[in-house]
Structure 1
Amino acid sequence: MSEQAAGSATETGDRTTTGDESTVVDSPPPLRVTDLEKHFGGITAVDGVSFDVHEGTLTGLIGPNGAGKSTAFDCITGVYTPDAGTVEFNGEDITGLEPFEICNRGLVRTFQIARELEKMTVLENLMLAPAGQRGESLWQSVTPIARRGVAAEERELRERVWETLEFFEIDHLAASYAGTLSGGQRKLLELSRALMTDPDVVLLDEPLAGVNPSLEKKLLERIHDLREEGYTFLLVEHDMDVIMTHCERVIVMHQGRKLAEGTPAEITSNERVIDAYLGGEV
């Protein structure tokens, strides 16, 4: 939903009603998770979890270590195949698809430990990210006319890469090998690389872990900038101040199950959450 539309509409479940009560517009969430389950032997890591992520929002997913957050991310993005339940993205059932197939549909993720290509430069990491590049084809690389098309595409791609590097303020690192970056710089690189795939929804797995306060502030600013451009985010983060300050909705997992869901104010006043996750303190 665009910023303008968001200001004139009220979400009601999966329906959006405008100021004109006679007009009701269907607005299914871009990401819907229903009764998701994942087992590892006798251990149930994710146990019947259901939630929606609505367009243009920053939704937080929290819970103690072992709550099943990262496993849920892995099931949503194809790293693991769920044992039960469904994942719908933009109205399509993507349950069990390969990670690259899910990414090509516009649902991408970052990892708690950044997975950059260490022996390639920052620039090269971003150049590789978009799928379907014509230069990957042998025929395109040997035919003169096709080569000109590939060269034009590469020029356009390089412009996009530089725009992205400048947006994240890491353009000065373009020629640096990814393996030489600091932890915070790697997080910026990973999010930059995710953005190069033209996603609709981005899943962030602890993007602020190991990031110094200066880079943390920069990363959060960029996430909010991207939301204003229409991107949607689902964020796993242990820093409760970040979650409660920056997210509109918060989903709480505990022992593989969804314990609660609501606004930050609702979550911080939820007795079950306080007892199970916050240790009796808000």
Structure 2
Amino acid sequence: MSETESGSETNEFESEAKIDATSTPDVSVEYPLQVDGLRKTFGGITAVDDATFQIENGTLTGLIGPNGAGKSTTFNLITGMLKPDKGTVTFNGEDITGMEPHAIANKGLVRTFQIARELEDMTVLENMMLAPKNQRGEKLWRSVTPGVRNDVIEQEEELLERVWEVLEFFEIDHIAEEYAGNLSGGQRKLLEMARALLTDPDMLLLDEPFAGVNPSLEKRLLTHIHELREQGYTFLLVEHDMDLIMENCEHVIVLHQGRVLTEGTPADIKSNEEVIEAYLGGNV
């Protein structure tokens, strides 16, 4: 190996982010997520129509609306699952409109799904070990090259320690060796959120995280979400349970036919006659 090649490999190796078990989100941007004029049509149907809103740092924001309001499509446009026809998505001051989902996740904007997407034939621990970014062992030559392999092993040990910390935080360390396919719906939601946290996100988009979850696990999930928010994480939450949204979110955005009908505090939304008539039927 030439001196030039060796230097190049060393620089590449040293430039990789080190796994940090105590990492915290970047809180330098007041509005980390800004959505401006998003539009998406499918044939003659407009699913999202000039949706515009911004999410304040360190908050838990609810995104509500009836079926067909455009909530899931908006999530998919923000996270790169779909490409918008027009409009922009800005995250931490950078235009991420139309980027691939993995590129957006690598920038710290991470989502979960209504139906958890764990790898069923792998254990909970194995699922967790796959989540963190910049793992040195992902490159075969690093795993077999003398000297460099020791650094791979060292990082894996640090990663394993951090994984166990997150498992304990979500109270699923006791099922670490269980196959993910054997978990209950609530346990899968806990696993998905735990995996998302291991990607070092600045912001989490949660798509109906409480769907199919029993009341006990729902309470645990909410507790963990509030604890993470207190640590500086930012959340955008889609959820059909209006009581849950009103009792836990600081800010609520209401979608109607793909557009933002109104937004404000839960008290603002409860007293908005247009929202009450269109969505809540006066029962909130």
Q: Calculate the TM-score normalised by the size of structure 1.
A: 0.90
- Runs of 4+ aligned structure 1 residues displaced above 3 Å come to none
1:95 aligns with 2:108: no
Contact 1:203/1:233 (8 A) holds in 2: yes
Residue type of the alignment partner of 1:146: V
How far apart in 1 are the matches of 2:238 and 2:56? Answer: 16
Q: CA deviation at 1:27?
A: 5.2
1:73 aligns with 2:75: yes
How far apart in 2 are the matches of 1:277 and 1:57? Answer: 24
- SS of residue paired to 1:258: strand
Contact 1:112/1:205 (8 A) holds in 2: yes
Contact 2:254/2:261 (8 A) holds in 1: yes
**Which residue number in structure 1 is paired with residue 179 of structure 2?**
177
Q: CA deviation at 1:144?
A: 1.3
1:183-220 deviation per Cα after TM superposition (whole angstroms, max 9, x unaligned) = 00000000000000000000000000000000000000
How far apart in 2 are the matches of 1:276 and 1:83? Answer: 27
**Which residue number in structure 1 is paired with residue 251 of structure 2?**
249
**Which residue number in structure 2 is paired with residue 162 of structure 1?**
164
Task: Give 5+ residue unaligned stretches, structure 1.
Answer: 1-5, 7-25
How far apart in 1 are the matches of 2:283 and 2:175? Answer: 42
**Which residue number in structure 2 is paired with residue 213 of structure 1?**
215
Contact 1:119/1:177 (8 A) holds in 2: yes
Q: Which moved more, 1:191-200 or 1:36-45?
A: 36-45
- SS of residue paired to 2:54: strand
1:45 aligns with 2:47: yes
- For the aligned residue pairs, the C-alpha RMSD in angstroms reads 1.2
How far apart in 2 are the matches of 1:89 and 1:177? Answer: 35
How far apart in 2 are the matches of 1:130 and 1:274? Answer: 43
Contact 1:56/1:227 (8 A) holds in 2: yes
- SS of residue paired to 2:47: strand
Contact 1:122/1:178 (8 A) holds in 2: yes
Residue type of the alignment partner of 2:174: H
Residue type of the alignment partner of 1:189: L
Residue type of the alignment partner of 1:84: K
1:243-263 deviation per Cα after TM superposition (whole angstroms, max 9, x unaligned) = 001000000001111111000
Contact 2:29/2:93 (8 A) holds in 1: no
- SS of residue paired to 2:147: helix
How far apart in 2 are the matches of 1:176 and 1:183? Answer: 14
How far apart in 2 are the matches of 1:124 and 1:55? Answer: 32
Percent identity of paired positions between Structure 1 and Structure 2: 72
Task: Give 5+ residue unaligned stretches, structure 2.
Answer: 1-26
